[in-house]
C-alpha cells in the first residue's frame, strides 16, 4: 500500500468526511464551490499579522515542492532560541507547516492561527495533527495553542500591530492534543487503507449526514444529492439540520412523503403549496394594518456594509459591519413622485462612517416611516454608529424608532405564494411577486448582484 501525502488541511477534510477527500482527489470537477476568496484573504491577513505576536521572527518562504521549506526549517531550528513562521515538517508522508513555532533550547511550542473569534473543534484536530508530526520526528513539543481574534478588541489610536497582545487570544490545548494522538494515528491508517481500497475508479458510498454541513458546507452536496426527488426534505426553509436528517433516515424524503408528517405549520404550508400549486395566500387585514401604520414622508432605505477581521477604523471591533453606501427613495406625501437619493463613501475618507451617518440624517429630516427589509440589520448598524459618535446618538435613535420592517408580512406568511419556496428573503420574494419584470431579478443586475459583491467591490 502506497502511503498518501497528507497535509493538515487534507487530514481535517478526512475528519469531516473521508468521501469528501476522495472526491477532491479524483472527482474535483463534480464540486459546486462557493466563492471563498474573502475567507481565504481574511485568513491570510490575520496569519500575516500574527507572525509578529512574539516579536522578531524568521519566515519560511512557500515552495510548492515542499522540500525547500523543510530544509530551510531545519537550518533555522539550529539557531535556537528563535521564532519561526511557516516552519515545515514531514513525517512518514504527513506534512504540516506550523503558523508560529517558538523554538526554545529545551523544545518547541506550536501556535496555530485562526481568523475566527472562537475556538472550534476542527481547530483542535488541525493543531493536534501538527503535534503528531513534530513529536514523531523527535521534537519535544512543550505546548500547543490556538491563536484567535478577541471579539471585544476595540481599535484605538495605535495600529493593531502595536497591540497584538490585546487583539489576539491564545488558548492552550496541549492536553487535548495529547489525548488525540492515538486517534490521529488510527485515522491516518484508516485514511490510507480507505483510499487504497477504493482507488481512483471505485467511488465510495457514504450516507448523507451532518458532516455534509459541519464544520464546513461540502462543495459536493449537489452531486451527492443528485438522485433525490426534487423538492425534498432538505429544501424546507428554516428546518433544523438534525430534523431534516431524522426524516431522511426514516425514508421521508420527498414532499409527498412529508405531507402527513407532524411538522411546523410553516413547513406544511411550503409543502402544500408546492405540491398542489396553490394560489397565493394573503392576510389582507394584517397587511392593511402594516400599511395603515405608515406615516409620511416615507423613506425607503437600504444599506450596504463590509466587515474585516482586522479593524482599521478607530472605535470599531473585528468583523463589525461598517456602512459605506445607502440607497434612499422618498415619497413626501400621498401621491407625490418618488425621489431618489444615495450615498457612496469616498475610499480616501477616513471618517466615512460619520459622513454616511450625517448624510443619512440630512436626508431623513422628518419623523416619517423609515421602511427597511430586515430591520434587525439596519437598526444594529445605527446603534453601532451611535456608540461610535455619541453626538449623533439621538438622531440614530430617532431613525431606529421610526423603522418599519417590510420583511415581517413575508416572514409571518401574511403574504405567501409557492414561488417563494418557503423563503422570506427579498431575493426570493421580489421575483415571486414580479415574475415578468426582469429588472427585479437579482440575477439580471449588471456587475454587482448582492451585498457580498458590493462589499468586495468597495474593498477592492
How many structural domains comprise the chain?
3
More confident residue, 455 or 226: 226
pLDDT of residue 449: 66
pLDDT at residue number 28: 95
The verdict on 121 and 78 lying in the same domain is yes
- Is residue 272 in some structural domain? yes
Domain boundary among 175, 191, 207: 191
Between 57-66, 125-134, 354-363, 425-434, the lowest mean confidence (pLDDT) is in: 425-434
- For position 1, what pLDDT does the model report? 60
- The pTM for the full model equals 0.92
**HSE-CB of 423 using CA atoms within 13 angstroms:** 13
Considering the domain boundaries, does residue 431 fall inside one? yes
Question: Are both 292 and 413 inside the same structural domain?
Answer: yes
pLDDT at 256: 96
Interval 298-307 mean pLDDT = 95
The answer to whether 396 and 385 have CB atoms below 8 angstroms apart is yes
Say if residue 442's pLDDT is above 80. no
CB neighbours of residue 52 within 10 Å: 15
Q: Which of 317, 350, 314 is nearest to 167 (CA)?
A: 317
* 443 pLDDT above the threshold of 80: no
In this structure, the answer to whether residues 408 and 321 fall within a common structural domain is yes
Give the count of alpha carbons within 13 A of 241, CB side only. Answer: 9
- Residue 174 in any domain: the answer is yes
Helix (H) or strand (E) holding 382, with range, is helix 375-388
| 46 prior amide bond cis, ω within 30 | no
Same domain (yes/no): 19, 126: yes
* Residue 3, in any domain of the structure: no
- Parent domain of 388: 279-460
CB 144 within 8 A of CB 98: no
DSSP states of 118-178 as a string? S--HHHHHHHHHHHHHHHHTT--EEEEEEEEE-TT----SS-GGGGHHHHEEEEE-HHHHH
| Within a domain: 257 | yes
**Are 255 and 112 part of one and the same domain?**
no
pLDDT digits (tens, 9 = 90+) for 363-381: 999 999 999 999 999 999 9
- pLDDT tens across 28-76, in order? 999 998 878 888 889 999 999 999 999 999 999 999 999 999 999 999 9
What are 318-363's pLDDT values in tens digits? 999 999 999 999 999 999 999 999 999 998 898 999 999 999 999 9
Tally of CB atoms within 10 A around 296? 14
Same domain, 238 and 327: no
- Boundary (domain end) residue, out of 276, 307, 334: 276
171 shares a domain with 233: no
pLDDT of residue 162: 96
Asked if 231 and 253 count as a contact pair (C-beta separation under 8 A), the reply is no
Q: Domain boundary residue among 135, 163, 191? A: 191
Amino acid at each position: 500500500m502506497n502511503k498518501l501525502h497528507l497535509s493538515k488541511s487534507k487530514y481535517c477534510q478526512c475528519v469531516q468526511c473521508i468521501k469528501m477527500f476522495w472526491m477532491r482527489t479524483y472527482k474535483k470537477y463534480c464540486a459546486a464551490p462557493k466563492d471563498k476568496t474573502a475567507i481565504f484573504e481574511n485568513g491570510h491577513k490575520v496569519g500575516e499579522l500574527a507572525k509578529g505576536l512574539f516579536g522578531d521572527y524568521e519566515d519560511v518562504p512557500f515552495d510548492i515542492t515542499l522540500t525547500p521549506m523543510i530544509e530551510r526549517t531545519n537550518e533555522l531550528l539550529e539557531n535556537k532560541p528563535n521564532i519561526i513562521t511557516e516552519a515545515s515538517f514531514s513525517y512518514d508522508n504527513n506534512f504540516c507547516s506550523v503558523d508560529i513555532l517558538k523554538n526554545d533550547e529545551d523544545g518547541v511550542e506550536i501556535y496555530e492561527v485562526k481568523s475566527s473569534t472562537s475556538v472550534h473543534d476542527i481547530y483542535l484536530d488541525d493543531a493536534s495533527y501538527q503535534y503528531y508530526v513534530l513529536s514523531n520526528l523527535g521534537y519535544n513539543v512543550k505546548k500547543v495553542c490556538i491563536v484567535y481574534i478577541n471579539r471585544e478588541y476595540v481599535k484605538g489610536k495605535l495600529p493593531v500591530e502595536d497591540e497584538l497582545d490585546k487583539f489576539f487570544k491564545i488558548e492552550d490545548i496541549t492536553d487535548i492534543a495529547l489525548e488525540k494522538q492515538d486517534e490521529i494515528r488510527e485515522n491516518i491508517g484508516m485514511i490510507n487503507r480507505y483510499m487504497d481500497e477504493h482507488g481512483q475508479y471505485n467511488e465510495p458510498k457514504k450516507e448523507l449526514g451532518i458532516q455534509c454541513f459541519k464544520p464546513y458546507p461540502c462543495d459536493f452536496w449537489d452531486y451527492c444529492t443528485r438522485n433525490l426527488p426534487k423538492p425534498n426534505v432538505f429544501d424546507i426553509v428554516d428546518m433544523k439540520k438534525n430534523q431534516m436528517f431524522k426524516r431522511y433516515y426514516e425514508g421521508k424524503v420527498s414532499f409527498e412523503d412529508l405531507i402527513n408528517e407532524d411538522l411546523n405549520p410553516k413547513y406544511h404550508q411550503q409543502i402544500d403549496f408546492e405540491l398542489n400549486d396553490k394560489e397565493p395566500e394573503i392576510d389582507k387585514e394584517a397587511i392593511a394594518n402594516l400599511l395603515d401604520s405608515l406615516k409620511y414622508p416615507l423613506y425607503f432605505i437600504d444599506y450596504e456594509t463590509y466587515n474585516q477581521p482586522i479593524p482599521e477604523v478607530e472605535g470599531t471591533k473585528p468583523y463589525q459591519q461598517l456602512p459605506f453606501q445607502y440607497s434612499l427613495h422618498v415619497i413626501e406625501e400621498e401621491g407625490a413622485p418618488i425621489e431618489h437619493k444615495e450615498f457612496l463613501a469616498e475610499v480616501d475618507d477616513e471618517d466615512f462612517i460619520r459622513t454616511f451617518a450625517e448624510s443619512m440624517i440630512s436626508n431623513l429630516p422628518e419623523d416619517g416611516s423609515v421602511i427597511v427589509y430586515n430591520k434587525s440589520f439596519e437598526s444594529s448598524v445605527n446603534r453601532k454608529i451611535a456608540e461610535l459618535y455619541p453626538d449623533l446618538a439621538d438622531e440614530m435613535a430617532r431613525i431606529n424608532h421610526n423603522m418599519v420592517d417590510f420583511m415581517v408580512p413575508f416572514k409571518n406568511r401574511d403574504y405567501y405564494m409557492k414561488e417563494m419556496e418557503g423563503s422570506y428573503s427579498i431575493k426570493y420574494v421580489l421575483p415571486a411577486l414580479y415574475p415578468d419584470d426582469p429588472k427585479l431579478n437579482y440575477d439580471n443586475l449588471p456587475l454587482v448582484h448582492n451585498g457580498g459583491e458590493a462589499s468586495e467591490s468597495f474593498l477592492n
